[in-house]
A = this chain, B = another copy of it.
Amino acid sequence: MRGRGRDVPGLVKQARDGDPRAVARLISLVEEGYTDVAAALVGHPGSAHVIGLTGSPGVGKSTVTNELIRAFRTAGRRVGVLAVDPSSPFTGGAILGDRVRMQDHATDAGVYIRSMSSRGHLGGLAAATPQAVRVLEGAGCDVVLVETVGVGQAEVEVASLADTTIVLLAPGMGDAIQAVKAGILEIADVFVVNKADRDGADATYRDIQGMLNLAPPASSRKTPDVPEWRPQVVRAVANRGEGIDKLVAAVEKHRAWLIGTGELARRREARAAAEIEAIALGRLRDRLGSVRDGTALPKLAARVAAGELDAFNAANDLLGGLRT
Residue ranges of A at the interface with B (Cβ–Cβ < 8 Å): 35, 38-39, 41-46, 56-58, 86-87, 92-93, 95-96, 118, 130-131, 149-154, 172-175, 177-183, 265, 268-273, 275-277, 279-281, 283-285, 288-289, 297-298, 300-302, 304-315, 318-319, 322-324
Contact = CB atoms under 8 A, between A and B. Distances in A.
A320 to B, nearest CB: 9
Contacts of A315: 276-277, 279-280, 283
Contacts of A276: 297, 300-301, 304, 311, 314-315, 318
A202 to B, nearest CB: 18
Given A173-B174, A279-B315, A323-B324, 17 more contacts: A42-B310, A43-B308, A56-B56, A57-B151, A95-B180, A149-B182, A150-B182, A153-B153, A173-B173, A269-B302, A272-B305, A273-B297, A273-B300, A276-B315, A280-B315, A280-B319, A281-B284
Contacts of A177: 95-96
B309 A42 contact: yes
Contacts of A318: 276-277, 280
Contacts of A298: 269, 273
Most buried by B among A285, A289, A319: A319
Report copies per complex.
Answer: 2
A301 B174 contact: no
Contacts of A280: 288, 315, 318-319
Contacts of A172: 172
Contacts of A313: 39
Contact of A182 (B35, B38, B87, B175): B87
B319 A283 contact: yes
A38 to B, nearest CB: 4
Most buried by B among A118, A179, A276: A276
B283 A57 contact: no
Contact of A301 (B152, B183, B273, B302): B273
A324 B44 CA distance: 35
A258 to B, nearest CB: 13
A305 B271 contact: yes
Contacts of A38: 310-312
A87 B308 CA distance: 36
Contacts of A324: 319, 322-324
Most buried by B among A130, A131, A150: A150
Nearest to A303: B272
A46 B305 CA distance: 11
A173 B57 CA distance: 9
